[in-house]
Structure 1
Amino acid sequence: MPPTTHLPSPPDPSSLHAEAGTVNGEGKASWIVQKYGGTSVGKQLHTIANVIAPSYLANRNVRLAIVCSARSGQTKALGTTNLLLQAASEALQSVDEDNPEGSNSMSNSVSSLSGLGGGGNTPQSAFSRSARSLSRRGGLRSNDSSPALASSRSNSGLEALSLSEQSSPASIGYNATVDKIMQDHLDAVKKAVTRNDKARETLESEIIDDCERLRDFLMAAKIIEEISPKSKDIIMSIGERLSCRIVVGALLDAGIEAELVGMESIVDAAFLEEVSSKGGPKTAAADEVMLDQSFYDLLAVKMAERLEQVKGVPVVTGYFGNVPGSLLSQVGRGYTDLCAALCAVGLHASELQIWKEVDGVFTADPRKVSTARLIPAITPEEAAELTYYGSEVIHPFTMEQAIKNSVPIRIKNVENPSGGGTVIFPPTSLQSLQNASELDMMGGHLIQPQTPGASGTSTPWGSNPLAAMVHGGAASTLGTPPEPRPRKLPTAVTIKDDVWVLNVHSNRKTLSHGFFARIFGTLDRHGVVVDLISTSEVHVSMALHSSQPGLRRSRTVDRLRAELGSLGTVSLLKDMAILSLVGTQMRNMVGVAGKMFATLAEGNINIEMISQGANEINISCVIHKRNALKALNLIHYSVLEVSPKANNLESGNFGRSFF
C-alpha cells in the first residue's frame, strides 16, 4: 500500500498528456528534473506514477524529466546493479562442464532463489531459452501488426514454457543470475502495469529481449575471457534501461504520456571530436584519460537537446555512453546522479530533485538522535562536508555541476512527497553584499525557495527579493523593523564510524623536510586515503577509513606499517570514529569549539586527535567508537539545540540524560 500523503488530489490521468507543461506565460515551460534511486523505484513506483508525477504535471507551466537508477527490490546489496556485477564476474569463472553443480556453488545458490513466481523450484534456463526462441521468431515482439496476434503468441509461448520447464536442468553461473534479474523485473511489470494489457505485454517482451542480449554479451565475454572497463559499463547500463522501462510502463498505465530516453548514443565520435576541438579530454602522464569541464558542458547541452524533442515525460537512463576511460572509472557508480545534474543544467531547470527514503538533511542522524531537526536549506560546502564525514547527501562533483549553473538541488522523500525536503544552494541572491561575512554578521540564514508547481505557484528560482533570503539586519534596509536575530548555530553534527588512527613519530634520523613527503609517498603507493590529519614537526596522526580498498587486506596493512617504521615509531589505533561539527558560519562563532570540547569532557569522552579545515566549515575530532552515540547526542543537545535546558522534555531531555 502506498503511503498516505497530503498532496492535492491528482487530476484526471487522461488530461496528463503532452500538452501539460508545454508553455507558460513567457512562452517557455519550467523544467524540473527528478532523480529516483533504485530502492525508490523498487518499493514506491506506485507513488511515483500515481501521486508525485501527476501533482507536478497538474501545473501546465512545468515540464518533468525523470532519471532512474537500476531498481532494488529491498536493499542495494540485493539490487540489480550488484547482480549485474556478479553476473560479469561469473562469466569469467571457469565451469567444469562435467560437474557444473560442484564447480559453482554460489551460482547454484542464486539459481535456487530464482523460481518463476509460484513454486520457487521452477528451472529458469528453460524459460530464458524458450523466451529467446519465441522472441527471435517474433512471438513476443512489440511491433506485431495485430495486438491480438501478439497476445495469442505470448500465451501460447508461455504454455510451451510450462511444458518444457519440467525436464530442463536448472541454470547455473551467470545464466542463473540473468534469470533472476529477468524474473524480478517481469514480476515488477505485473504489479506496475495493471490497466493496460497491451502495454504490459510489450513491456514484458522488451525486458526479455534486454536480458537475452545481456546473456549473449556475457557469453561473448566468457568466450574471449575478458571484460574490459567499457564492457562493464555496458553490462551495468542494462539495469537502468530495465528500470526505466518499468517506470515508463507505470506512467502510461496511469494515463501519463512518457517515453524512454536512452543516452547511450550521446557520446559518439562526433561528440568527442567536438570536445577535442575545445581542448579536452586530456591524457595524464600515466595514460589516464582526464575529462575536463568542457566535456561535461557539451554533454549537458546534448542531453538537453535530446530531452526537448520528447513530447511527454522523458524517462532517462543514467548511462550516457562510451565515455573515454570508461564511465565507472571516470565517475563511479554515482553516474546516474551526475546524469540527472547534467540534464538539469542543460535544460536550465528550475530545480533538480533527488528523491530518497529520508525527508532531507537533518541536524544529526534521526535514527541516533531523537531530537534531530530537518534542515530546510544548506550551502553546497556544508553538504559536501556532511557527505564526506558520514551523512550521505549527494556526491560533491555532481552537486558542483548543478550549483555552478544556479540550479538548486532539493532532497525529497518518496515516502513523504508533501514534505519540503532540504534545498542545497549558495546565497546567489546576496551577491550585492560586499562579502559573505556581512551575512554572517547580520545573523542571516538561507530560506527555502518554492518549488515551481508543487504548491500551486510558479515562482522561479532566484526571483525572491533579498528580504526573502535574509532575516535580521537586511530587512531594515527595506523599511521594515528588523526581526530578532536568531542564535547563530552550526548546521549539523555527524559521525563517521570504522576509523583507524595511524600515528608516526619521527626517530629524528630523518630530515624534517622529507618526513612528510616520505609518509604520504608511502600512503600513495598503497592507495590509502587520509580523512583527517594532525601534525607537528616530528609527529603525524592520520585518521583513515578502514573499509577503503587500500586497507581491506591485513597483508597490505602490515607492509604499510613496516615501510613507515623506517621513519620512526608507528602505532595503529582501531575501533575509532570521527565526530564532525559542520556549519558555514562557524568561523564567526566565538566559543563554539570550546563548547564542543567542554561538552565532551563533561561527558568523560577522551579525544584522540583534533583537526579543523582551512575553510573553517567543520571542526572534527577522533574519539573511541564505543562513545560515538553518546558524543553525538551530547553535542547535538549542547551546541545545536536552540534553547537547551536540563528539564526540556521536548528538545533537551534525551541529550541531557547522556551526561
Structure 2
Amino acid sequence: MSISSSSSSSRSSSLSSSPPRTPPNLHQNSIDPSSRWLVQKFGGTSVGKFAVNIAKDIVSGYIDSNKVAVVCSARSGSTKALGTTNLLLKAASEALARRPKTPSGYVTPVSSGIFGRTEEGSQSPPLSSPRGAEAYPWGPASGMTPLATSSEPALPEFYATVDLIRQEHFNAARVSVKDIGILRELEVEIERDCEWLRSFLSASQVIDEISPRSKDTIVGLGERLACKFMTAVLRDQGVDAEYVSLENVVPPMEDLEAAEDGTLDQEFYDRLSDAIGERVKQCGARVPVVTGFFGPVPGSLLRQVGRGYTDLLSALLAVGLDAAELQIWKEVDGIFTADPRKVPTARLISIISPAEAAELTYYGSEVVHPFTMEQAIRQKIPIRIKNVENPRGGGTVIHPDPEAEVEDDVGSVPEPASPLALAMLSSRASEAMKQLPRHPTAVTIKEHIIVLNINSNRKSVSHGFLAGIFSTLDRFGVVVDLISTSEVHVSMAIEDGLAKKLLERLLRELQKAGTVSVHHDMAILSLVGKHMCNMIGIAGRMFTTLAQGKVNIEMISQGASEINISCVIDARDAVKALNLIHQSCLQLPDTLPTPKGIAVGPWLF
C-alpha cells in the first residue's frame, strides 16, 4: 500500500527513497496515450458516508478509459458537530481559551501582602528555575494549594477534541478497510497526524497565538486525513492509489504581487495550476488522491479563498492537467429547475450556462462557487455535477458553450436525455428552434434575509446620500444582495448574519442619513434564465402569478446582467411562491411533438 506522498513534510512517514512495490492485481489508470484526465472532486459527506461506493462503483468505472485524479474534502462526522473541519476549528479555539496558569499543578491563592493583592491564577516561577527549588519552596507551608490530588497536571481541553478526531477516523477506517495490513498502516498515519496536531496546538498555547497561516495548517489537516483514508479505501478495493500532499506546491512569490485589495491575481492561480498539474503527473499510472489544502499562500488561504478551497483546488488541477472534464460529486443528481425537496415537480437540468449557474449560487442554490467555476470555464473545461448515490446518471453539465451538443459522460452510462434537451441540444433539431426565445432555467429562494429601507431626512437631497449609505455598509462589511433606489429612498436586502449588537450599531449609523425601517424574516425569490430580456411578458407572468397567490412583494430587482428577475417576499410564503412560479413559468407540457413539426407552446413566453 502507498499512503505515502513525496511531500517534504516531516510529520509524514512517506519519505521513502523509492515508491513501494505495486501488487500486480491492482487496477491502474489507463495507459492509452490518447486518454485524457478526469478530475473527480468528492465532498466531505460523500467521503464520510460513501467511501467504499466511491472506490468500487465510481473511480473503478472510469480508469479503464481515462486517467482519473481524485480530490477530497475533509470527511464529515457521524453528526455535523463531529465534522472534521468543525472539530479542528474547535480545537484551535480551545488552545487559545483563557485558563489559570499554574506551576506544576499549584495555584496561587488570593491574598494580601506588602506588594498588594495577588491575582488568582497568576503565574509563579517554575520548579526548574535556575535559582533552584529551594528559592521557591512550594508546598503546604508556603500557602500554595494543589490543583488536584493527582501529581499529574490536567490535560489541555483541546486534547479531548483531538481524540474525537482520531476516534472518528479510526471508526471510519475499521468499517471501510478490510485488509488488515492496509488498515494498520492507515491507523499509524492517523495516530501520527493527531499527535502532530496536539504538539502544534500545545506550542500555540505556549505563545498564546494562532496566526492565519497556522490556522490554515490546522484546518488543512482535515484534507490530509481524508485523502489518506480514501487512498486506503481505494487500495483495499483493488485500485492502485497514491496519496499526494500539496503542502509545498505553491510556487515562489517573489515576482508576483497581490492586487491593491490584497487578493491574489490570476497570474498566481495560473502558475499554481501548472505546478499542481506537474506534481500529479508524477504519479504515473497510479490514481492520485490529492489534498484540497495547497499550503501557505500570501494573506492566508482561509482569508483569500475561504473554506471552499477544495473546490478551487479541483478546478486548478483540471486546468493544470488540461482535463476533459471536472466532475463534482454530491448527494444530488445535479442542478434542478427548483429545490426538489420543496417543489415536487422540479426537473433535472441537463446543461446550463456558467452565468446561470453563478446566479443560482448567489441566490440560494448550492452549485459551484463562481470563482471556482471561472478557473475551469475560462480554459473551456466543462464541469459536471453528479450524484455518488446514482453514478450512472448523466448529472448536470456547466458548459462553456451551452449551445453546443454535450458529449456523453465518459466511462459512465448517462440517463436518457429529456425530450426538451434533445430538441434544444441535438444537432438534428431545426435551426428555427434555436432562434426561438427560451424559457427560464430555474427558480430559487434565498432565505434568512433582512430588508433595510432608508428615507432621506433632508429637504434638499445632497449628492452624498448614497455615498454615505454605502460607505457605512463597507465599514461594517455588509454585502447587499439586492438594492432598489430613488432620489430619496433606498431599499436593500442583506443576509441575516450580523450579530444583534452589530446590527444595532449599523442601524444607528444609517439613521444619520435618514429614517430607517427594518423588515426581518424575508426571502429573495429569483427567476433565472439566459436571455431573460428576450422573454416577452415573463416578468408580468411572474408577478401576476404571485399576486394571484396572495404573495406580497416587498421589493423588485432585475439584474443588470439580464440573467434574473428577483423580488423580496415574506419568508412564510417562500415554499408557496416557489411552487407557484415553477408551475407558471417553468412547467413543461406533458408531451413534446416530433422534431418534424415542432410547435411552440405558450410555456416559452
Structure 1 equivalent of residue 313 of structure 2: 339
* 8 Å CA contact retained: 1:350, 1:452: no
Letter in 2 for 1:35: K
| SS of aligned partner of 1:70 | coil
Q: Output the CA distance in 1 between the equivalents of 2:405 and 2:535.
A: 20
Letter in 2 for 1:310: C
User: Structure 1 467/510 Cα, relative in aligned 2: closer, same or farther at 3 Å?
Assistant: closer
Alignment deviations for residues 35-67 of structure 1 (CA, whole Å, 9 cap, x no partner): 0010100000010011111111132xx100000
Larger radius of gyration: 2
Q: Output the CA distance in 2 between the equivalents of 1:472 and 1:416.
A: 29
User: Structure 1 171/48 Cα, relative in aligned 2: closer, same or farther at 3 Å?
Assistant: farther
Corresponding residue to 2:295 among 321, 335, 352: 321
Query: Displacement of 1:449 after TM fit?
Result: 2.5
Query: Displacement of 1:534 after TM fit?
Result: 0.5
Letter in 2 for 1:633: N
Q: Does 1:352 align with 2:338?
A: no
Letter in 2 for 1:449: E
Structure 2 equivalent of residue 558 of structure 1: 504
Corresponding residue to 2:242 among 239, 243, 259: 259
Q: Does 1:217 align with 2:200?
A: yes
Q: Output the CA distance in 1 between the equivalents of 2:186 and 2:243.
A: 12
- 1:13-28 matches, within 5 Å, as 16-18=26-28, 20-23=29-32, 27-28=33-34
| SS of aligned partner of 1:290 | coil
Query: Displacement of 1:291 after TM fit?
Result: 0.7
Q: Does 1:593 align with 2:539?
A: yes
Query: Displacement of 1:200 after TM fit?
Result: 1.2
Q: Output the CA distance in 2 between the equivalents of 1:168 and 1:418.
A: 57
| SS of aligned partner of 2:277 | helix
Structure 2 equivalent of residue 404 of structure 1: 378
Structure 1 equivalent of residue 38 of structure 2: 32
Structure 1 equivalent of residue 390 of structure 2: 416
Q: Does 1:272 align with 2:233?
A: no
Q: Output the CA distance in 2 between the equivalents of 1:321 and 1:84.
A: 16
User: Structure 1 644/513 Cα, relative in aligned 2: closer, same or farther at 3 Å?
Assistant: farther
Q: Output the CA distance in 1 between the equivalents of 2:370 and 2:155.
A: 42
Letter in 1 for 2:171: D
Letter in 2 for 1:360: G
Letter in 2 for 1:63: K
* 8 Å CA contact retained: 2:280, 2:288: yes
Corresponding residue to 1:309 among 266, 270, 282: 282
Give the total of aligned pairs.
Answer: 517
Q: Output the CA distance in 2 between the equivalents of 1:344 and 1:230.
A: 26
Query: Displacement of 1:218 after TM fit?
Result: 0.2
Q: Output the CA distance in 1 between the equivalents of 2:430 and 2:103.
A: 79
Q: Output the CA distance in 2 between the equivalents of 1:450 and 1:243.
A: 30
* 8 Å CA contact retained: 1:281, 1:291: yes
| SS of aligned partner of 2:225 | helix
User: Structure 1 50/563 Cα, relative in aligned 2: closer, same or farther at 3 Å?
Assistant: same
Q: Does 1:569 align with 2:515?
A: yes
TM-score by length of 2: 0.81
User: Structure 1 592/483 Cα, relative in aligned 2: closer, same or farther at 3 Å?
Assistant: closer
Structure 1 equivalent of residue 136 of structure 2: none
Alignment deviations for residues 599-628 of structure 1 (CA, whole Å, 9 cap, x no partner): 001111111100011111000000111111
Structure 2 equivalent of residue 282 of structure 1: 258
Structure 1 equivalent of residue 417 of structure 2: none
Query: Displacement of 1:514 after TM fit?
Result: 1.1
Query: Displacement of 1:409 after TM fit?
Result: 0.4
Structure 2 equivalent of residue 521 of structure 1: 471
Query: Displacement of 1:281 after TM fit?
Result: 2.5
* 8 Å CA contact retained: 1:378, 1:446: no
Query: Displacement of 1:78 after TM fit?
Result: 2.8
* 8 Å CA contact retained: 2:43, 2:330: yes
Corresponding residue to 2:406 among 448, 459, 464: 448
Structure 1 equivalent of residue 82 of structure 2: 78
Corresponding residue to 2:551 among 605, 610, 634: 605
* 8 Å CA contact retained: 2:96, 2:204: yes
Query: Displacement of 1:94 after TM fit?
Result: 2.5
Alignment deviations for residues 58-86 of structure 1 (CA, whole Å, 9 cap, x no partner): 32xx1000000000024544310010000
Q: Does 1:498 align with 2:448?
A: yes
* 8 Å CA contact retained: 1:579, 1:620: yes
Structure 2 equivalent of residue 128 of structure 1: none
Q: Output the CA distance in 1 between the equivalents of 2:471 and 2:524.
A: 24
| SS of aligned partner of 1:520 | helix
Alignment deviations for residues 165-189 of structure 1 (CA, whole Å, 9 cap, x no partner): xx99995511000001011111111
* 8 Å CA contact retained: 1:356, 1:414: yes
Q: Does 1:227 align with 2:210?
A: yes
Structure 1 equivalent of residue 461 of structure 2: 511
Letter in 1 for 2:533: R
Structure 2 equivalent of residue 379 of structure 1: 353
Structure 2 equivalent of residue 239 of structure 1: 222
Give the unaligned 5+ runs of structure 2: 1-22, 108-150, 415-422, 592-605
Structure 2 equivalent of residue 7 of structure 1: none
Q: Does 1:546 align with 2:496?
A: yes
Corresponding residue to 2:99 among 87, 95, 99: 95
Query: Displacement of 1:533 after TM fit?
Result: 0.3
Letter in 2 for 1:282: A
Give the unaligned 5+ runs of structure 1: 1-12, 104-166, 429-444, 457-465, 475-481, 646-659
Letter in 2 for 1:492: A
Q: Output the CA distance in 1 between the equivalents of 2:433 and 2:558.
A: 33
Structure 1 equivalent of residue 597 of structure 2: none
Alignment deviations for residues 499-539 of structure 1 (CA, whole Å, 9 cap, x no partner): 11100111234634211100101111111110000011111
User: Structure 1 99/370 Cα, relative in aligned 2: closer, same or farther at 3 Å?
Assistant: farther
Higher helix share: 1
Structure 2 equivalent of residue 154 of structure 1: none
| SS of aligned partner of 1:528 | coil
Kindly report the root-mean-square deviation, in angstroms, between the aligned alpha carbons of the 2 structures: 2.7
Alignment deviations for residues 91-123 of structure 1 (CA, whole Å, 9 cap, x no partner): 0012347899xx9xxxxxxxxxxxxxxxxxxxx
Q: Output the CA distance in 1 between the equivalents of 2:428 and 2:577.
A: 32
Structure 1 equivalent of residue 12 of structure 2: none
* 8 Å CA contact retained: 1:377, 1:447: no
Corresponding residue to 1:297 among 261, 270, 275: 270
Alignment deviations for residues 267-318 of structure 1 (CA, whole Å, 9 cap, x no partner): 15xx223xx1xxx33253xxx6321000000101010101111030000001
Q: Output the CA distance in 2 between the equivalents of 1:357 and 1:76.
A: 16
| SS of aligned partner of 1:314 | strand
Structure 2 equivalent of residue 439 of structure 1: none
